[in-house]
Amino acid sequence: MSRALLEADFAALNARDGEGFAALFTPDVRYEVPQTGEVVGGPVNVAAFDHKCPGEWSIEVRRALADEVLGLAETQRAVVVHEDRDGLISRITDCWPGPYDPPAFRAGWPETRREE
């Protein structure tokens, strides 16, 4: 994964650019939050998952590392692991400090499910 791809991911998130964010993903991208058990599949659903979060927010990347396949970013609240396939993001895993219940606004979204 290139550092530029990792930076483009967070730039699109902070700009609330859902279309640009989705364009960074493989068609079968998978977004996982192990602490809640949530899994989201597909570029449109992954983009919606993050971009429809209510309120004002931004993600500050404190440290980032990238090699040919993995990107790792430490943010102000989580560690985010990105996996690359053919120059696009194929998997994102958000690792938060501990388990929590998913926010109510995410209930019932398509392609979102809890894995136990």
Q: Mean pLDDT for each consecutive 10-residue tract of the chain (116 residues)?
A: 92 93 96 88 89 85 94 94 96 91 75 55
* Nearest-5° Cα angle at 99, 93 to 100: 105
Nearest to 6, CA basis, from 20, 24, 18, 19: 24
* The predicted structure's pLDDT at residue 22: 95
Report the number of distinct structural domains present in the chain.
1
Q: Which domain holds residue 27?
A: 3-114
CB count in 10 Å sphere of residue 53: 14
CATH number at residue 65: 3.10.450.50
Nearest to 63, CA basis, from 73, 78, 50: 73
HSE, side-chain direction, 13 A CA sphere, residue 102: 21
Q: Please count the residues of the chain.
A: 116
